[in-house]
Amino acid sequence: MEKEVKYPDGSMNSRAIKVEKNLVLIILILFIAIFFIQNASSLTANSSSYSVSMFGTGMATATPSSASYSSVSLLEDKATTRNAESSAYTGNIGFFESVSYHRTVSITSYSISPTSAVVGSTIGLSISALNYQSVWAKIIAPNSQEQTVDLVNGQTVNYLPSPSIVGTYSVTFYANSSTGAIASIVDSFELTEQAAETTPSSGGGGTTTITENCTYIWDCTSWSICSDGKQVRVCKNTGTCVGTEGKPIEQRVCSDALFDVTLKFTDLVITENNTLEFNVDLIERGGIEKIDVQIKYSIIDKDNNEIFSQIETKAIQGELNYDKRIEEVKLENGEYILRVDILYGNLQRAFAEQKFEIRKEELWTSPAKKFTNKLLIISGSLIILLVLIILILMKRRKGKKRSVVYQRKVKHNLRRIRSKSFSVMLVGFIVIGFLAVFRSKFTGFVVGNPIVGNGNWKIIEFVLVIGVLGLFMFLYRSKIKVLFEWARERIKSEYPKNSVRGLIKKRVCTGEGEYIGNVEEIILEGNKIYGLKIKLDKRFNRKGILIKYNCVKGLGQIVITDAKVLEHLKKLQ
């Protein structure tokens, strides 16, 4: 760093002062930028019988380990909770700041056995949940008749479908917590008709021996989520044979899906009976076969607590559009976020979310977004109007002031604008504005939480960005004006008017104003124009003609030729 130096006449080294000011400004910008960056954190813990992983935000670190356990963690700076479970233990991992503890209910596993059976069969339903108060299942028969079955956590409850009819039964497993949060998973089973029994014919003449052939009916669960690069499932034989003949594979290697899935949802409404309805659109690109996609619907309150979640699996190829209803949870007045996550392939993910607000049992969708859109339109219009007014005033003022003093003043101001200090400041504001806008879009190198922050910050960030853009447009208004004029010329004509190529596509007429055609090409000979190739009008029986340049009598918006050219064309016809 250059130090401030005093000269004998008492003056100081201005360059040293400027360098120090620039450094202070840079440090200030970096200090402000720190508050716009949301730090990413994660936790992974592994042993021979379990694994736990999570992501969050924060700066704290820890690396505990032992002979049978190791972990690396970056802990969150806000209250959260995660669950972990194995055959030997159940645990809750929590990180707290100074807020109340919130336990999230979750379903760790469930099963329907068998998933395909004949009419009159008994179906086994089981569920395992954490932080639950009660667990149950709702079954919807093919005739839309509903039935609720109370379940026992960690145990199988036998259920006899009523009515027992042919078709697909939808099963939704539920678990709720003492706070009212609900977790659910959607699946199904199918009932088919019983095979007709063969009755031996009676008659004399001897004894008929009938040998019944046994059958294998393999009933498999859905493939699990990829873990350590593998997917597993369990297949049981519900047939009459004993053995493993024809048993499907129960383990496979995960592979990336050969396509991308994009997700969006619209038309978020709430009905009179507090049912949340919305439309989901899944778009698959590049795939050649149908693939299962796990979909999770979540409702998150203003305190970042998940009060409702539901998981279901759907098959997709091309595009899948469907309407979804959430009627299990009653929403009180307040702000919420509806989030839809999808998981496919080798842990490939996509998500979409929308903020909404309940006011006196009415739905207000993204009020901050609507306000921001209106503010954007108004502010943008005002900025454009202000720039136009400044350009008009500058144009008028330019004709009045032509003195040398004024020109020197303008040059002096331009030098100040282009100073290093101002450049550093302008770049700093642009960086801060960029971080402000995208601070909710990323956290370090992992996907961030878009609900972090509040409406006041978003308004400040928006005003900051608009201010920087307005300042930039004002300072570089002359260059912007030149750019607009250049673009206008490019739109009017492909080539400048004062160039040789500017003749191309111009209309060609006689001195009496009779239209002949358009200039298509310029013929050069040496350093002079030899002639013009004219694309003739449709009324002539020829496509084009070459005229010498000495036949051109005038140039301007149009090319005026000698009348002899038209007489020659008429003779050719």
Place of tokens 């089981």: 126
Distance between CA atoms of 333 and 343, rounded to whole angstroms? Answer: 31
The rounded distance, in Å, linking the Cα atoms of 541 and 556 is 28
Any domain includes 240 = no
Q: Are 391 and 481 within 8 A, CB to CB?
A: yes
- Domain total of the chain: 4
Q: Among residues 488, 513, 546, which one ends one of the domains?
A: 488
Contacts with 456 (C-beta within 8 Å, 6 or more apart), sequence order: none
Using the 3D structure, point to which of 323, 339, 365 is the last residue of a domain.
365
Residue 64: helix, strand or coil by DSSP? Answer: coil
Instruction: Mark whether 355 and 375 lie in a shared domain.
Output: no
353 and 322 inside one domain: yes
Whether 205 is covered by a domain: the verdict is: no
In a domain, 345, yes or no: yes
Nearest CA-CA partner of 216 in 249, 245, 250: 245
The neighbour count for residue 356, using CB atoms within 10 Å, is: 20
Q: Which regions in the chain score pLDDT beneath 50? A: 1-12, 17, 38-42, 49, 53-62, 73-81, 94-101, 258, 367-368, 403-407, 410, 414, 417-421, 439-455, 495-498
> Is 522 exposed, middle or buried, given 0-12, 13-18 or 19+ CB atoms closer than 10 A?
middle
Strand order in the sheet with 515-525: 544-548, 528-536, 515-525, 507-510, 559-561, 552-555
Instruction: Name 533's Cβ contacts closer than 8 Å, sequence gap at least 6.
Output: 519, 520, 521, 522, 523, 544, 545, 546
- Which of 437, 455, 442 minimizes the C-alpha distance to 335? 455
CB 326 within 8 A of CB 308: yes
Q: What is the CATH number of the domain that holds 554?
A: 2.30.30.240
241: helix, strand or coil: coil
* Residue 557: domain span: 500-572
The answer to whether residues 101 and 81 touch, using CB atoms and an 8 Å cutoff, is yes
Residue whose C-alpha is closest to residue 308's, from 340, 279, 280, 282: 340
Residue 184 forms part of a structural domain: no
User: Residue 57: what pLDDT?
Assistant: 42
379 and 474 in a single domain? The answer is: yes
Both tokens of 210, joined, read: 């009938």
Is 429 found in the same domain as 355? no
How confident is the model at residue 153, as a pLDDT?
Answer: 92
- Ranges of beta strands (E only) in 77-145 are 80-85, 90-95, 106-113, 116-118, 123-130, 134-140
In a domain, 46, yes or no: yes
Percentage of the chain surpassing pLDDT 90? Answer: 5
**520 occurs within a structural domain:** yes
Q: Are residues 472 and 386 in the same domain?
A: yes
Length of the chain: 573
Does one domain contain both 506 and 545? yes
Q: What CATH number should be reported for the domain holding residue 264?
A: 2.60.40.2360
- 254: in domain: no
Q: Are residues 376 and 464 in the same domain?
A: yes
Residues 333 and 291 in one domain: yes
Q: What residues are paired with 555 via a beta bridge? A: 559
What is the structure's pLDDT at 173?
93
> 322-359 pLDDT, tens per residue?
888 888 777 788 888 888 888 776 667 777 888 888 77
